[in-house]
């Protein structure tokens, strides 16, 4: 966990800042608290500064007033001179000397890397985390303190800052248990500029033990197919799972793995299986890989519940691959299920449109999804198609999907997202109309196909193909 504390603005605000970073494998959780006090009346916007490297690893962030559930509007101002600025709009303008606490939650991905880069089945797993010493700010900072908390008390090494005498007379870094503290540093000039970054900013590196696998999904392909005739929503995920921990050194020993499993002391960099939370009310769940069906899984389902209560109810699927996934190894598999359409769809009588919720992804605990391709197949004949994503997509386009007994094909929404985490497991809202004629296309197509076969059979039976003598 990383903390930085009190900042003072000579412009619009005087503030205190507390930042916490909890180190992990693929993900680092960051919480920053700004205690803001206005130095001028009618202050409406507070600006947050991130270094370019930190912005590239930031997958998700959300700002709130401390103790309030509603997120504050954030406007990305872009990058310039090595600094990325984000404007946070306050819920109301602050009067002179009024104060407010703002909490910024963020998730950073790909912020750690294995060191050493290889490990045998008996070795422990260690990671390195690299970050900036000073938290950038466009405001003058009175005091800043940084705490980095490791998930394990075993910390092999950490950086000692150099040339920080201008900011502190105490020890520049201390260690207590699993926490390394940098600072406090005092009287820091506005740092969101090239001059401060080139003269004072420096990197700090923490080398720590990590006792869990480092999960990464290079690509996830999700297909959602809506069927009104079957009152069904089918979800299918094609998942490419990668163990981003230290690569296996030497050959894999099945005997060593079985011995470790028997004594319940498996190596931390091995993925023996996954536990996934799937929607309530699912049925016909299937799990297969390139070889075929995988029977080493266990599903515990819960009954369907109202849409507004699904966040608290879920089915649990325990997956066990054909082999343990060692560091650097990949495992590709397909997971799918059916669910009642009524659990995720509704009909708006005012507009005459159906509204369906499609989740962006099924969260894989402590994993980052580098790229997700989402395909939503609507009923044949759907018109006035519209959709809303919970966060911007990298790309989006529509196409037509044609399958058995289709006449004109089914409208399809195609979306691409990148750098996703558990926080992105939110619904996509899709709305569309299906006229009565479209509802009748399928039974008419089935009837035409049936009677065509029937007519062909009748005609074929009347044709005499025997060879007659003249």
Instruction: Give tens-digit pLDDT for 336-389.
Output: 999 999 989 999 999 989 999 999 999 888 999 999 999 999 998 889 999 999
The answer on pLDDT for 4 being more than 70 is: no
**Percent of the chain residues past pLDDT 70, beyond the cut:** 93
Contact 87, 77 (CB under 8 A): yes
Domain contains 125: yes
Q: For residue 1, what pLDDT is reported?
A: 37
Contact 338, 279 (CB under 8 A): no
Domain limits for position 159 = 7-209
pLDDT band (50, 70, 90) for residue 12: low
The answer on pLDDT for 449 being more than 60 is: yes
β-strand pairing of 179-188 with 141-149: antiparallel
CA dist., res. 202 & res. 457, Å (int): 82
Overall domain count for the chain = 2
The answer on pLDDT for 319 being more than 60 is: yes
H/E stretch holding 332 reads strand 330-340
Q: Does residue 132 sit in the same domain as residue 184?
A: yes
Q: For residue 5, what pLDDT is reported?
A: 33
Average pLDDT for 410-437: 92
Q: For residue 216, what pLDDT is reported?
A: 95
Q: Does residue 201 sit in the same domain as residue 227?
A: no
Q: Does residue 362 sit in the same domain as residue 339?
A: yes
Q: For residue 325, what pLDDT is reported?
A: 92
β-strand pairing of 274-279 with 126-132: unpaired
Q: Does residue 123 sit in the same domain as residue 138?
A: yes
Domain contains 451: no
Q: Does residue 205 sit in the same domain as residue 219?
A: no
Q: Which of 164, 193, 209 is the last residue of a domain?
A: 209
Residue scoring higher pLDDT (429 or 434): 429
Write the CB contacts of 422 (distance below 8 Å, at least 6 apart in sequence). Answer: 363, 364, 365
Q: For residue 2, what pLDDT is reported?
A: 40
The answer on pLDDT for 185 being more than 80 is: yes
Q: For residue 269, what pLDDT is reported?
A: 87
The CATH code of the domain that includes 173 is: 2.60.40
Domain contains 2: no
The answer on pLDDT for 72 being more than 90 is: yes
Q: Tell me the backbone φ, ψ of residue 437, rounded to 5 degrees.
A: -60, -35
Q: N- to C-terminal Cα distance for the chain?
A: 99
The CATH code of the domain that includes 229 is: 2.60.40.1730
pTM: 0.86
Q: Tell me the backbone φ, ψ of residue 345, rounded to 5 degrees.
A: -125, 155
Q: Does residue 237 sit in the same domain as residue 316?
A: yes
Angle ∠(127,128,133) on CA atoms, nearest 5: 150
Domain contains 469: no
Q: For residue 8, what pLDDT is reported?
A: 35
CA dist., res. 470 & res. 465, Å (int): 15
CA dist., res. 385 & res. 373, Å (int): 19
Q: Does residue 165 sit in the same domain as residue 201?
A: yes
Structure confidence by residue, pLDDT tens digits, 190-249: 888 889 999 999 999 999 999 999 999 999 999 999 998 889 999 999 999 999 999 999
Contact 161, 133 (CB under 8 A): yes
Please give the distance of CA 130 from its chain centroid, rounded to a whole number: 21
Q: What is the mean pLDDT of the chain?
A: 86
Residue scoring higher pLDDT (402 or 325): 325
Angular region, 57: left φ>0, alpha ψ -120 to 50, beta rest: alpha
Contact 315, 279 (CB under 8 A): yes
pLDDT band (50, 70, 90) for residue 322: confident
CA 173 to each of CA 21, 264, 361, 461: distance values in angstroms, whole numbers, following the listed order = 16, 37, 41, 93
Q: Does residue 222 sit in the same domain as residue 310?
A: yes
CB atoms within 10 A of CB 104: 21
**Percent of the chain residues past pLDDT 90, beyond the cut:** 43
Structure confidence by residue, pLDDT tens digits, 143-174: 888 888 999 999 999 999 999 999 988 899 99
Q: For residue 135, what pLDDT is reported?
A: 85
Q: For residue 80, what pLDDT is reported?
A: 83
CA 177 to each of CA 160, 208, 282: distance values in angstroms, whole numbers, following the listed order = 17, 12, 45
Domain contains 1: no
């Amino acid at each position: 966990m990383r903390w930085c504390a009190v900042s003072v603005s000579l412009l619009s605000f005087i503030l205190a800042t507390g930042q916490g970073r909890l180190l992990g494998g693929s993900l680092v959780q960051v919480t920053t608290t700004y205690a803001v006090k206005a130095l001028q009346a009618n202050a409406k916007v507070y600006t947050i500064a991130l270094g370019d490297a930190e912005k590239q690893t930031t997958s998700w962030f959300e700002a709130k007033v401390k103790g309030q559930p509603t997120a504050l509007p954030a406007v990305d101002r872009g990058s310039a001179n090595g600094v990325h600025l984000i404007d946070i709009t306050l819920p109301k303008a602050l009067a002179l000397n009024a104060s407010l606490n703002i909490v910024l939650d963020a998730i950073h991905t790909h912020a750690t890397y294995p060191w050493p880069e290889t490990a045998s089945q008996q070795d422990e797993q260690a990671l390195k985390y690299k970050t900036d010493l000073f938290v950038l700010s466009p405001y003058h900072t009175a005091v800043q303190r940084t705490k980095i908390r490791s998930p394990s008390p075993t910390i092999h090494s950490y950086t000692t800052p150099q040339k920080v005498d201008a900011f502190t007379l105490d020890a520049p870094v201390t260690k207590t248990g699993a926490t390394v503290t940098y600072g406090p540093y005092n009287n820091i000039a506005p740092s969101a500029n090239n001059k401060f970054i080139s003269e004072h900013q420096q990197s700090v590196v923490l080398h720590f033990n990590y006792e869990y696998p480092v999960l990464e999904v290079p690509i996830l392909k999700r297909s959602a197919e809506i069927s009104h005739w079957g009152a069904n929503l089918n979800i299918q995920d094609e998942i490419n799972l990668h163990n981003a921990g230290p690569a296996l050194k030497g050959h894999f020993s099945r005997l060593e793995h079985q011995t470790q499993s028997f004594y319940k002391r498996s190596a931390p960099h091995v993925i023996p299986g996954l536990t996934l939370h799937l929607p309530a009310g699912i049925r016909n769940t299937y799990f297969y890989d390139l070889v075929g069906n995988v029977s080493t899984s266990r599903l515990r389902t819960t009954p369907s519940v109202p849409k507004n209560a699904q966040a608290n109810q879920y089915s649990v699927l325990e997956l066990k691959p054909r082999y343990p996934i060692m560091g650097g190894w990949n495992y590709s598999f397909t997971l799918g299920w059916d669910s009642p359409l009524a659990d995720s769809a509704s009909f708006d009588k005012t507009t005459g449109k159906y509204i369906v919720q499609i989740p962006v992804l099924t969260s894989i605990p402590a994993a980052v999804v580098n790229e997700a391709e989402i395909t939503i197949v609507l009923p044949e004949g759907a018109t006035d198609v519209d959709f809303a994503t919970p966060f911007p997509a990298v790309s989006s386009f529509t196409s037509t999907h044609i399958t058995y007994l289709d006449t004109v094909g089914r409208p399809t929404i195609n979306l691409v997202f990148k750098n996703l985490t558990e926080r992105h497991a939110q619904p996509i809202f899709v709305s569309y109309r299906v006229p009565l004629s479209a509802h009748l296309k399928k039974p008419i197509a089935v009837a035409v196909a049936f009677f065509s076969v029937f007519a062909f059979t009748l005609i074929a039976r009347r044709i005499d193909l025997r060879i007659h003598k003249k």
